[in-house]
Amino acid sequence: MATEADLREVVRQATARLSTAGVATPRVDACALLAFVLEVEVGELERRIVLGHGLPVDLAARFAALLERRCAREPLQHLTGRAGFRRLDLAVGPGVFVPRPETEVVAGLAIEELTRRDAGERLVAVDLCTGSGAIALALADEVPGVEVHAVEVSEAALVWTRRNIEETGLPVALHADDVTGRLDTLADLRGRVAVVVSNPPYIPPDAVPIDVEVAGHDPHEALYGGGRDGLDVPRAVVAAAAALLVPGGLLVMEHADVQSGTLTDLLSADDAWQDVAAHTDLTGRPRAVAARRTAIRTPGS
């Protein structure tokens, strides 16, 4: 008769395998997968490890199969079907970009701006290239009374956005639209938005993401920004924000660390923007730009 494997030993062996496979956080991932299989929180798993509990025999094969897929660098979030983002637990999977910690900083900048604005002001925020809906949902979750609109063009991603809006129950209006087009679905919001925030695709066409999980599993349309420098979509975000924002409204946009100078120069050279600032992620790399809309309107806006 098969006996239960000690959880401490299961975690030790899984951690070693994941480390050999090049996973950056092997023990974290081993515990996350094991907790997922056991249907408990990681904290409860750690408690069971301390108490010397075992892995039930009927769950061992499932854990082994998931571990094998993670060793092949399938994203952890695809295996569990969930991704944490600030205070939220979101559904993710093939077809949608997995939200990451650097984007939490971008969302935080937008949230700070919204919370500091006049309490009597009608607060409208727009998340362009929303993907899973992570940023838009975080705004709706953390800023009482804000009116949030989210825009996404990918049909595959929209499946996940709709699911997350439904699961969280947060008030986010979703628009199936293309930021590189006319954005007719947001026509009524032009000149009325306090904050435009975006994590657009921005990778240049000849660059390959370092992480295997990104290069092999995130959708290309969520990664590559178009044009020789990867900034066609970010430039479209800037143009859309110029039309949407009220004077004094804020644009916050994520980008690659090597693009900081290009984007700050682009915004600083345009009379439509003032107070252009670069912002760093948790590792100190420049990963976001913010700029405030002046009173000058663009032609045709």
DSSP string of 157-171? HHHHHHHHHHHH---
147 in a known ligand binding site: no
Quote the CA–CA distance of 72 and 250 in Å, as a whole number: 41
How far is the C-alpha of 103 from the C-alpha of 218, rounded, in Å? Answer: 15
Neighbours of 299 (CB within 10 A): 4
* 99 marked as part of a ligand binding site: no
Please state, in angstroms and as integers, the Cα–Cα distance from residue 181 to each residue in 154, 228, 232, following that order. Answer: 14, 19, 12
Q: Looking at residue 154, what DSSP letter applies?
A: -
Query: Pairing between strand 54-55 and 5-6?
Result: antiparallel
Residue type at 269 in one-letter notation: A
**166 belongs to an annotated ligand binding site:** no
Decide if 165 contacts 138 (C-beta within 8 A): no
Q: How many helices (H) and strands (E) does the chain have?
A: 11, 11
- 3-state class (DSSP) for residue 56: coil
Q: Is 202 annotated as a binding residue?
A: yes
Residue recorded with tokens 């806006």: 301
Of 258, 208, 202, 244, the residue nearest 226 (C-alpha): 202
On whether 152 is known to bind a ligand per the annotation, the reply is yes
> In 178-267, which ranges are E strands?
193-198, 245-254
Which tokens in the block code for residue 179? 């930021």
Whose CA is closest to 237, among 209, 199, 279, 282? 199
Output the known binding site for substrate. 199-202
Question: Which residues does the annotation place in the binding site for S-adenosyl-L-methionine?
Answer: 152, 199
Residues making up the binding site: 152, 199-202
